[in-house]
Structure 1
Amino acid sequence: MSLVDQLKDQMKEAMRAKEKLRLGTIRMALAAVKQIEVDTRETLTNDQAIAVLTKMVKQRRDSIAQYEAAGRDELAQIEAEEILVLEKFLPQPLSQEEITALVDASIVEMGASTMADMGKVMGALKPKVMGRADMAAIGAMIRAKLK
C-alpha cells in the first residue's frame, strides 16, 4: 500500500473517530502531496511522499522553537502533537550507531578525505537515510570526520 493510500485510510479512520487534530494533520499532509502532484503533473512515489512528510515535520520543529521562544507554549504543544501524527507515516528512524556506520561506509566508499568531498558523501547518503535521519545532523557528523 502506498503512503498516500495509507494517509487516505487513516483520514477516514480519524473522521469516524472524530479526532480533529489527527484529521486536520492528515488532511494537511494530503494537501501538500496533492499540491506537488498538481505542480509537477505527476504522481509522487513513496520516497517523494516521505520527503514531503519529512519536510513538514522539520517545519513543525522550527515552529516549536519559535513558539517556545515567544512564550506560546499552547501553540508549541499543537505543533508537537502534529509531529507525532506525521511521524507515524514515516519509516523508523535510524539509531545513532546506524547513522555513524552509514557515514563511515559512505566516506570510505567515496574515497573522501577533505571537505571538498562532502557533497559527494552527502549525495550518496541522502537516498539511504531519506526520512529516517536529520540531514543537518549527518552533515555536521561528516564535517567533523573530514576535517
Structure 2
Amino acid sequence: MLRSLHRPAFLSCRTYSVAPQSAVAADARERLATAIKSAMKSKDTQTSITLRAILAEVHSADKTANRPVDSSTVVSIIKKAAVRRSDAAAQYTAAGRSDLAEKEDSEVALLSQFLPPTLSEAEVDDILSKIIADVPSNPSDDPRKKLGNVFKVFYTIVDKSTVDSDMVKERLNVLLKTVN
C-alpha cells in the first residue's frame, strides 16, 4: 500500500537548459555562470569557489536593488572583489604568508579575466578633448559646473566599468588647465 503512494523513478521529470552555450557570452553574469559550470565539470574547486562567491555577491546586489542589476554593476562587483583580494595578498606577503598570498594572487588573475579592458590615458584624453570642444562654456560659468557637464557627457559615451574614475578626473583637470 505504501508503495502505491510513491511515484516511480522513471516518471520523475528532469529539466535541462536548452539555451545555447556560447564561449563568449555578452553579459557578465552569463559569463560567470558559464565559467562556474566549466570549473565544476573540470573539478577545479578553487575556481568554482571563487566564482561562486562572486555570483553570491551579485545575487545579494540583486536582492538589495529589488531587481536584477545590470552588467556594469556586475563588473564593478568583480572589480571590488579583485581589489579586496589584491589587498589581502599584499597583507599576506607582509606577514610572510606567501602560500596564502599566491592563492589570493591566483584569484585576482582569475577575476581579471572577467573584467573588460580599460581605456588608456590617450583614449580618455581623446574623448575628453572632443567633449571639451563640443560643450559650450561661458567665461563666467563656475569651473565646477563645467566639470560636471563634461563628466555627464563623458559617462553617457563611455561605460563606467571601462575606465578608472580617478584617472578620468585627473586627466580632465589637466586638459581644462591647458585649455584655459
* Contact 2:88-2:101 at 8 Å conserved across structures: yes
Other-structure match for 2:124:
99
Equivalent residue, structure 2, for 1:142: 172
Q: Which runs of 5+ in 1 are unaligned?
A: none
Output the CA distance in 1 between the equivalents of 2:143 and 2:99.
42
After superposition, residues 48-127 of structure 1 pair within 5 angstroms as 48-68=73-93, 72-111=97-136, 115-116=143-144, 117-127=146-156
Distance 1:126 1:16, change over 3 A: same
- How far did 1:20 drift? 2.7
TM-score by length of 2: 0.66
Contact 2:85-2:108 at 8 Å conserved across structures: yes
| Superposed CA offset, 1:39-96 (max 9, x none) | 1110122222223223323433444455555555544433332222222222222233
- Tell me which moved more, 75-84 or 25-34: 75-84
Instruction: Find the aligned partners of 2:135 and 2:95 in 1 and give their Cα distance.
Output: 44
Structure 1 residue 10 displacement after superposition: 0.7
1:10-42 per-residue CA deviation (whole Å, 9 max, x = no partner) reads 101111222233212211210111001011110
Equivalent in 151, 156, 160 of residue 130 of structure 1: 160
Structure 2: where are the runs of 5+ without partners?
1-24
Q: Which moved more, 1:51-60 or 1:12-21?
A: 51-60
Match of 1:7?
A: 32
Deviates more, 1:129-138 or 1:32-41: 129-138
Measured in 2, the distance between the counterparts of 1:52 and 1:146 equals 31
Q: TM-score, normalised by structure 1?
A: 0.78
Pairwise CA RMSD of aligned residues?
A: 2.7
Tell me which residue corresponds to 2:47: 22
Range 91-100 or range 118-127, more displaced? 118-127
Which of 1 and 2 has greater Rg? 2
Q: 1:103 to 1:83 in 2, by over 3 A?
A: farther
Counterpart AA for 1:146: L
